[in-house]
């Protein structure tokens, strides 16, 4: 669940995902046609592990699928420990995450570190802004890391992406207006909060079973 006050974003947690250059191999054209509002994006990224696989297997993502199919989607990584924080599968501690990566013999070229912030719903007022401060509670890593906003995702409270994991079994224009599709970047994420909030309004109406949809900021981390 999102834990955020109306006037600021809240830190959801951290994760280690497969490297961005590897993402495209898990998105053949058939899958792109069914799920992506923009088929030609280079590497779809998301808070949703079904969209952007983690190097850790939480045992829940794609749990109803055959093991071969989970492997095809990159979901069969290292076992995720039982407790990583209150917003599982995201890690509460960046230090513990990086320690686990070292213990799992995962080198830096085999994962991409991300930090996820929750921005709540449009009803939050005033509109939250992305924080530019370092990681909460980790001043040591803040001095040795670089961060870059990859974009804003739209997902439900279980982190199911409303951009790239709903499938289009109805007219695409109904669930994803053309003007919003044009605002997606090369990672199938929004570059601005206003567009992301506009999509939450549309999805809350057309996909009520997943409502309410929230906005999440996805930040890439490079630790030197």
Task: Report if residue 4 sits inside a domain.
Answer: no
Give me the pLDDT at residue 9, please.
84
Task: Report if residue 1 sits inside a domain.
Answer: no
Q: Where are the beta strands (DSSP E) in the chain?
A: 10-17, 56-57, 78-79, 112-118, 145-155, 214-223
Cα–Cα distance measured from residue 168 to residue 186, given in angstroms and rounded to the nearest whole number: 20
Rounded CA Rg of the chain: 17
CA-nearest of 209, 158, 189, 116 to 199 is 189
Per the structure, the complete domain to which residue 23 belongs is given by 10-223
Task: Report if residue 3 sits inside a domain.
Answer: no
For residue 39, the SS3 value is coil
- The one-digit pLDDT tens for each residue of the chain (224 residues) are 333 333 468 999 999 999 999 999 999 999 998 999 999 999 999 999 999 999 999 998 988 888 888 888 888 899 999 999 999 999 999 999 999 999 988 877 889 999 999 998 876 533 333 333 333 333 334 445 699 999 999 999 999 999 999 976 655 556 789 999 999 999 999 999 999 999 999 999 989 999 999 999 999 999 76
Cα–Cα distance measured from residue 130 to residue 115, given in angstroms and rounded to the nearest whole number: 12
Residue 24 CB neighbour total at 10 angstroms: 13
Length of the chain: 224
| Strand pairing category for 78-79 and 112-118 | unpaired
Task: Report if residue 2 sits inside a domain.
Answer: no
Domain count, the chain: 1
Cα–Cα distance measured from residue 59 to residue 61, given in angstroms and rounded to the nearest whole number: 6
Cα–Cα distance measured from residue 4 to residue 121, given in angstroms and rounded to the nearest whole number: 10
CA 30 to chain centre: 22
Are 42 and 24 contacting, i.e. CB atoms less than 8 angstroms apart? yes
């Amino acid at each position: 669940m999102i834990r955020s006050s109306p006037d600021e974003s809240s830190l959801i947690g951290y994760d280690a995902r497969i490297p961005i250059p590897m993402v495209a191999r898990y998105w053949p054209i058939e899958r792109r046609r069914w799920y992506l509002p923009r088929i030609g994006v280079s590497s779809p990224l998301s808070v949703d592990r079904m969209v952007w696989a983690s190097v850790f297997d939480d045992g829940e993502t794609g749990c109803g699928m055959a093991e071969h199919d989970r492997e095809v989607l990159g979901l069969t990584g290292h076992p995720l420990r039982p407790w990583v924080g209150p917003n599982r599968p995201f890690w509460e501690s960046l230090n513990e995450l990086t320690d686990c990566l070292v213990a799992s013999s995962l080198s830096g070229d085999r994962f991409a570190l991300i930090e996820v912030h929750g921005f709540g719903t449009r009803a939050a007022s005033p509109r939250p802004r992305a924080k530019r401060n370092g990681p909460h509670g980790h001043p040591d890593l803040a001095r040795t890391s670089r961060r870059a906003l990859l974009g804003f995702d739209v997902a439900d409270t279980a982190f199911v992406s409303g951009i790239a994991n709903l499938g289009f079994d109805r007219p695409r224009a109904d669930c994803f207006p053309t003007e919003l599709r044009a605002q997606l970047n090369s990672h199938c994420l929004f570059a601005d909060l206003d567009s992301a909030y506009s999509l939450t309004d549309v999805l809350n109406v057309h996909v009520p079973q997943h409502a309410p949809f929230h906005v999440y900021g996805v930040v890439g981390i490079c630790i030197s």
